[in-house]
Amino acid sequence: MKISQIQELLEAEVICGGNELDKEVSSACGSDMMSDVLAYVKDQAVLLTGLVNPQVVRTAEMMDMVCIVFVRSKAPTEEMITLAEEHGMVLLKTSKRMYEACGKLYAAGLGAKGVTV
């Protein structure tokens, strides 16, 4: 699925990385715990989270993720946006809650493959 489809499905606002929306992504994960993202994520390209701090962007960068979706209308700070821009990462913001946002993407075929338990 393209990042642009994620944006449409979640009626999300593009905060930065607007020229990367054509990128293909094949799996995602949702978490507010960066510890778990670091421990369980393998090859997911997209992170859905309700947490807002610079470590969200840094953690995603460490895991080679390309897109972060902030749920519940959480807005990233200027510092986070600058960091994401440096890494060519797409930041999206949706008013949907975590459960619904993940469910919509999963139902549309964006799986969770690569999560190791």
Q: Whole-number minimum distance, CB 84 to another protein, in Å?
A: 12
Site membership for another protein, residue 108 (CB under 8 A): no
Q: Whole-number minimum distance, CB 114 to another protein, in Å?
A: 13
Nearest to 49 by CA among 27, 28, 68: 68
Site membership for another protein, residue 64 (CB under 8 A): yes
Q: Is 3 exposed, middle or buried (0-12, 13-18, 19+ CB in 10 A)?
A: buried
Site membership for another protein, residue 75 (CB under 8 A): no
Residues 9-38 interacting with another protein (rule: CB under 8 A): 32-36, 38
Q: Whole-number minimum distance, CB 99 to another protein, in Å?
A: 18
Q: Is 41 exposed, middle or buried (0-12, 13-18, 19+ CB in 10 A)?
A: buried
Interface residue list for another protein (CB under 8 A) = 32-36, 38-39, 51, 53-56, 58-59, 61-64, 79, 83
